[in-house]
Amino acid sequence: MLSATGLLRLRFLSCAALSVFLALPLAGRPARAVAASPHFVRLESGLELAQAVVRGGPDGREVLFVMLRIDPTLHAFTLCMASEAGRALSLPEWSAQRDLRAGINASMYLPDGITSTGYMRNGESVNNENAGPRLGAFFAAGPHRRGRIPPAGAAGDTTENAAKPCPGQPGGVCGRRRAPPAAFPAACILERDAPGMPEILEEYAVVVQNFRFMDKAGNALWPEGGRAAGMAVVAEDDAGRILFVLCRDALTAEHFAAALKDFSLALRTVMYVEGGAQAGLFLRVDNAGAPGEATGVAGAQEEATGFAGAPGDATGFAGASSFPVADGVVYVWKGRSSLLNADGDPQGTLPNVLAVQRRR
């Protein structure tokens, strides 16, 4: 019987975001941010939160970005899958059931309400064994070996061993593909045509595939125009940190990419995970944190005095719905739909969630 990693190889071959700053509206052009970068507030070691309001939505409306920045050496990633749990759960339910710190959509899903649109695996549990030929990015976490992947052309990567670009080949490469002998980063986002694919993915316990959203220059790899909607992406920066980014309000992909570029987050790779009312992000805040850490809401507010919630919202987390759980509160941000610009249901169920746990 083939292993999950063996299936991945076969299928490759067979399937061919607490400070507020504003941007000036530019009619008919992507919004440009005034601040060079958002101000991230440290919630605990290796976990930071930032919010940004950008003016550039439909009719020049303000749109809210929520960003979580995660150090994968201090926090582990896991996949919550309805195919494994038996049913889809809401974000507060996923957090409570698995004792999760934060999470975001893992991917889009098929009409059956369970299956991811691209390849998805959590250990040996496979949600979708098919690597989508049009989906150009993979999030990977939980390697068997730790370290970093040598870049293409590094010492020891001779011409005969290096993967060769092969656009017509499913997986994007051909020739003698071989996983490098060095260890692997705790989490990363890989492009489909990266040297050594798909063997590199076999080193990881958590793998999820979706659209590559931006190129290295920060341009959206998306058709211009299109409907504006809430949107969620997962990204990796040049320091190897993973970012969960949600734009709650309606925004086109072109404007979303322009805002990310102007935030100066030094993003390396960005993967689209969901849009519209289904896009969601959650953060669990403990009632008590370690001394000196802004894990509680009050601590975070003291550090970022410019950050306020909606009128009547005592949480301090703008645009979030709050849900009490044991020893804390889960804050949920949901995207808005493209047609009616209606808020997504924070208690709506999602089948596949990419989540963060503290390393034990």
User: For the segment 248-299, what is each residue's pLDDT rounded down to a tens digit?
Assistant: 988 888 889 989 988 989 999 999 999 999 999 999 998 854 333 343 333 3
Domain hosting 234: range is 19-124+210-358
The reported pTM is 0.77
Confidence of residue 38 (pLDDT cuts 50, 70, 90): confident
**Is residue 255 classed as helix, strand or coil in its secondary structure?**
helix
Instruction: Please report which confidence band the pLDDT of residue 107 belongs to, taking 50, 70 and 90 as the band edges.
Output: very high
The pLDDT-based confidence of 339 (bands split at 50, 70, 90) is: low
Residue 270, H or E segment: strand 267-275
User: What is the pLDDT at residue 71?
Assistant: 96
State the DSSP string of 186-229: SEEEEETTSTTTTGGGGGEEEEEEE-B-B-TTS-BSS-SS---E
Range of lowest pLDDT (1-10, 136-145, 238-247, 293-302): 293-302
Specify the pLDDT at position 37.
67
Would you state the pLDDT for residue 151? 41
Euclidean distance between CA atoms 254 and 223, whole angstroms: 8
pLDDT, one tens digit per residue, over 153-183 is 333 333 333 444 444 444 444 443 444 445 7
Give the chain's domain count.
1
Decide if pLDDT at 343 tops 90.
no
**345: in domain:** yes
Domain assignment of residue 336, yes or no: yes
Q: Does residue 274 form part of some domain?
A: yes
Whether residue 315 has pLDDT greater than 60: no
Residue 74 falls inside a structural domain: yes
**pLDDT attached to residue 252:** 86
CA distance 73 to 231: 27
Residue (of 121, 139, 127, 136) closest to 211 by Cα position? 136
- Looking at per-residue pLDDT, the higher value among 181 and 327 belongs to 327
Residue 317: its pLDDT value, please?
84
Average pLDDT, whole number, for the chain? 76
Mean pLDDT, residues 75-79 taken together = 95
- Give the per-residue pLDDT at 218: 79
Query: Residue 314: what residue type?
Result: A
Residue 281 lies in a domain: yes
Pick from 96, 41, 28, 16: nearest CA to 298: 41
| Closest by Cα among 139, 156, 125 to 72 | 139
The answer for residues whose C-beta is within 8 angstroms of residue 260's C-beta and 6 or more apart is 214, 218, 233, 235, 245, 267, 270
Q: Which residues of 171-203 are buried (b: 16+ CB within 10 A; e: fewer)?
A: bbbeeebebbeeebbbbbbbbbbbbbbbbbbbb
Residue 153 phi/psi, 5° resolution? 85, 5
- Among the residue ranges 66-70, 276-280, 324-328, the one predicted with the least confidence is 324-328
According to the model, what pLDDT value does residue 197 have?
84
pLDDT the model gives residue 75: 95
Q: What is the CA radius of gyration of the chain?
A: 20
pLDDT cut 70: percent of the chain above it = 68
Is the residue at 153 inside a domain? no
Residue 153 Cα to chain centre, angstroms: 28
Does a structural domain hold residue 243? Answer: yes
Report yes or no on 344 lying in a domain.
yes
Give CA–CA dist 360/352, Å, rounded.
23
